[in-house]
């Protein structure tokens, strides 16, 4: 049987946007010109169709079976993971009535994420990535089952829950680092942006659906066990996708040996020696630390918006979701350094403007715009990282990316909360966001390799 992906049918090519070439018969026995619709009536329709086809999400990576399974697994499993991330703090508070213990759960998740994100990425460069991904996904799945069992058996042990959270976070950090290193080996270079756009879109969808699922299930008898059970069930799809991946042997062929701290350091040194990569990380850190507003939402809801805290939290994810559905154009941009800079500036400026308004729906609209810009910047950051870094270092650099994504928002919350304790809310929310936009633009203009960076596109 002919493989239509590797050997597509040979058809005549013609310039994009041109009219279809008529056959010889049509040329000699053409239809009555009077039957043809006036050009003025057809061209706008064609332009609209072209615009729509270029705007909606580029789904070509889904034609690749291995990526399609990974995408479906991620789409389904992220809903359960987000539901569990809501259930854990709620269960801890129900057991202890202590916000301090709930806060410790965040630390229990962050520390393993940092440690195993960095080291797991180094391991991913030394072993078969399929095996490591399957193993880390299996660990995450087993912990979900353990959380379900401890709830069903009424163990009522906050310490056990914290231990399970730490183990699960370590497994998830490794799987995230490995998955980021796997994607460029599953799709062509010109489709990496499209693949990332699809993955980030379903991630944002999970951020919306997961908490909703948790809210419904927690209110039922045995609600916590139901949430963890749903998480385990949904994660089975990701586990199957990992199992069906092709062999992905170490880029070094196993000759590098098992990695140590030196291997992790080599990855960090690679970042510092390449301005394009260094800037892609720095603009990400600046966006999260200087502009992230989530820690201020409760105060803003109480003082300014009369209790409308829920829409504030969901607006950013909703905007990112819409941007993901309209992300078809992202992969066609060559000047990705400029595009990343612009996206971060839109994010920061929209956040700052939201902090200045006193109308809830205006704030929601601006936060949604910020969320859309955040998705665009996330796709470009990940695409630059996956395209620029050689395969034998991708695991380590993805580990650094995992740590930045996990730790940056926590630092942003600390910055926002500390500022709000000593300055008015508007200043704490908007001032540093404006500073973020200015700093990112100045740094991008100063680092010429980053500003001039051009990437291979999908065409």
Residue pLDDT, tens place only, 356-376: 999 999 999 999 999 999 999
pLDDT band of residue 322 (cuts 50, 70, 90) is very high
3-state helix, strand, coil in the chain (%, to 5): 80, 0, 20
Instruction: Output the six-digit token pair for 184.
Output: 């460029």
**Helix/strand/coil for 308:** coil
48 versus 80: the higher-pLDDT residue is 80
pLDDT(232) > 90: yes
94 versus 40: the higher-pLDDT residue is 94
Q: What is the pLDDT of residue 262?
A: 83
Q: What is the pLDDT of residue 51?
A: 55
Q: What is the pLDDT of residue 13?
A: 33
Which listed CATH number (1.10.10.10, 1.10.10.60, 3.30.1330.50, 1.20.1250.20) goes with 60-250?
1.20.1250.20
Instruction: Output the six-digit token pair for 367.
Output: 């936060």
Q: What is the pLDDT of residue 258?
A: 65
Q: What is the pLDDT of residue 257?
A: 60
Residue found by looking up tokens 């092709």 in the block = 246
Q: Mean pLDDT in the chain?
A: 86
- Report the distance separating Cα 350 and Cα 344, nearest Å: 10
- Report the distance separating Cα 334 and Cα 383, nearest Å: 12
pLDDT(165) > 60: yes
Query: 46-60, 131-145, 178-192: which has the highest mean pLDDT?
Result: 131-145
pLDDT band of residue 56 (cuts 50, 70, 90) is confident
pLDDT band of residue 285 (cuts 50, 70, 90) is very high
User: Hey, what CATH topology would domain 260-459 get?
Assistant: Growth Hormone; Chain: A; (1.20.1250)
Please state, as a whole number, how many other Cβ atoms lie within 10 Å of the Cβ of residue 252: 13
Closest CA to 70 of 253, 239, 295: 239
- Report the distance separating Cα 210 and Cα 7, nearest Å: 41
Cβ proximity of 191 and 63 under 8 Å: no
Cβ proximity of 231 and 84 under 8 Å: yes
pLDDT(207) > 70: yes
Q: What is the pLDDT of residue 307?
A: 75
Residue found by looking up tokens 């089952």 in the block = 145
Cβ proximity of 76 and 237 under 8 Å: yes
End-to-end CA gap in the chain: 29
Q: What is the pLDDT of residue 208?
A: 84
- Report the distance separating Cα 152 and Cα 274, nearest Å: 51
Give the pLDDT confidence of 69-119 residue by residue, as tens digits. Answer: 999 999 999 999 999 998 999 999 999 998 788 888 888 999 999 999 999
Kindly report which listed range (144-158, 242-256, 366-380, 409-423) carries the lowest average pLDDT score.
242-256
Task: Quote the percentage of the chain above a pLDDT of 70.
Answer: 86
Cβ proximity of 197 and 144 under 8 Å: no
Task: Quote the percentage of the chain above a pLDDT of 90.
Answer: 64
288 versus 261: the higher-pLDDT residue is 288
Q: Residues 415-424, buried b or exposed e (16+ Cβ, 10 A)?
A: bbeebbeeee
User: 210 to each of 92, 151, 197, how far by Cα in Å?
Assistant: 18, 19, 20
pLDDT(2) > 90: no
Residue 18 exposure: Cα atoms within 13 Å on the Cβ side: 8
* Burial (CB count <10 Å: 0-12, 13-18, 19+), residue 454: exposed
Q: Domain boundaries in the chain?
A: 60-250, 260-459
Cβ proximity of 414 and 273 under 8 Å: no
Please state, as a whole number, how many other Cβ atoms lie within 10 Å of the Cβ of residue 153: 9
Q: Do domains 60-250 and 260-459 have the same CATH topology?
A: yes
Q: How long a stretch of residues is the chain?
A: 459
Q: What is the pLDDT of residue 14?
A: 38
pLDDT(335) > 60: yes
Q: What is the pLDDT of residue 313?
A: 83
Residue found by looking up tokens 């946007």 in the block = 17
> Under 8 Å CB-to-CB from 416, ≥6 apart: which residues?
292, 293, 294, 295, 296, 428, 429, 432
């Amino acid at each position: 049987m002919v493989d239509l992906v590797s050997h597509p049918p040979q058809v005549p090519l013609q310039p994009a946007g041109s009219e279809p070439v008529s056959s010889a018969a049509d040329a000699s026995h053409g239809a009555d010109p009077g039957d043809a619709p006036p050009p003025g009536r057809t061209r706008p329709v064609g332009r609209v169709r072209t615009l729509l086809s270029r705007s909606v999400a580029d789904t070509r990576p889904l034609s690749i079976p291995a990526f399609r399974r990974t995408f479906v697994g991620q789409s389904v499993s992220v809903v359960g993971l987000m539901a569990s991330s809501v259930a854990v703090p709620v269960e801890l508070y129900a057991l202890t009535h202590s916000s301090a213990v709930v806060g410790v759960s965040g630390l229990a998740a962050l520390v393993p994420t940092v440690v195993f994100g960095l080291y797991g990425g180094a391991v991913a460069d030394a072993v078969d990535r399929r095996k490591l991904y399957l193993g880390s996904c299996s660990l995450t799945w087993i912990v979900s089952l353990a959380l379900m069992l401890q709830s069903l058996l009424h163990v009522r042990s906050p310490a056990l829950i914290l231990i399970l959270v730490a183990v699960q976070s370590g497994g998830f950090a490794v799987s995230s680092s490995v998955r980021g290193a796997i994607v460029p080996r599953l799709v062509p270079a010109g489709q990496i942006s499209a693949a990332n756009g699809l993955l980030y879109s379903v991630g944002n969808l999970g951020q919306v659906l997961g908490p909703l699922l948790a809210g419904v299930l927690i209110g039922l008898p045995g609600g916590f066990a139901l949430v963890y059970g749903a998480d385990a069930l949904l994660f089975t799809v990701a586990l199957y996708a990992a199992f069906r991946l092709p062999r992905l042997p170490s880029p070094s062929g196993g000759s590098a040996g098992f990695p140590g701290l030196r291997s992790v350091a080599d990855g960090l040194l690679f970042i510092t020696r390449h301005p394009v990569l260094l800037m892609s990380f720095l603009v990400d850190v600046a966006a999260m630390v200087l502009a992230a507003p989530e820690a201020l939402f409760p105060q803003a809801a109480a003082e300014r918006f009369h209790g409308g805290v829920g829409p504030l939290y969901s607006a950013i994810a909703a905007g990112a979701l819409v941007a993901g559905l309209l992300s078809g154009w992202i992969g066609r941009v060559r000047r990705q350094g400029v595009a990343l800079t612009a996206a971060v500036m839109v994010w920061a400026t929209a956040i700052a403007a939201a902090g200045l308004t006193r109308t809830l729906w205006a704030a929601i609209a601006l936060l949604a715009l910020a969320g859309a810009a955040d998705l665009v910047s996330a796709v470009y950051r990940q695409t630059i990282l996956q395209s620029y870094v050689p395969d034998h270092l991708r695991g380590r650099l993805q580990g650094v990316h995992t740590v930045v994504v996990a730790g940056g928002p926590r630092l942003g919350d600390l910055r926002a909360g500390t500022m709000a304790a000593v300055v008015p809310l508007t200043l704490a929310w908007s001032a540093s966001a404006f500073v973020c936009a200015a700093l990112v633009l100045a740094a991008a203009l100063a680092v010429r390799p980053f500003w001039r960076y051009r990437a291979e596109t999908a065409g």
